[in-house]
Amino acid sequence: MPRYLWQVTYSPEGAKGLLTEGGTARRDAITQMVESVGGTVESCYFALGGRDLFVIGDVPDDVAAAALGIRTTASGAARSESVVLLTPEQVDDAVRRDAQYRAPGS
């Protein structure tokens, strides 16, 4: 199952909701959402800086990941950016594959 890193930024309305329900309730809601598309959450961390929340988990495919992102953004409470994560073994497979490439200008 593909693994993703979701980087979440709350809108002012989302931050107000977080103030109301707290971090553990939000984590539980996120876990329920990911499970609703057949996935699992490995970790969920709130953060300081440019992003408010980082979630790592698995979902069956890119369509499931897109469904999560669309629902999150449509709520108006947050915006989520999905990043596909690769294991070291997957990178090993990638570097063994022959891909024709020509550098610009050569």
The pLDDT tens digits of the residues spanning 27-49 come to 999 999 999 999 999 999 999 99
The pLDDT tens digits of the residues spanning 92-102 come to 999 999 999 99
- Pick the closest to residue 52 from 4, 10, 5, 6 (CA basis): 10
Domains belonging to the chain, first-starting first, are 1-94 (3.30.70.920)
- Return the SS3 of 75: helix
Residue 56 corresponds to which tokens in the numbers above? 């790592």
Q: How far apart are CA 11 and CA 58, in angstroms?
A: 25
**One-letter amino acid for residue 56 of the chain:** I
Q: Residue 12: its pLDDT value, please? A: 97
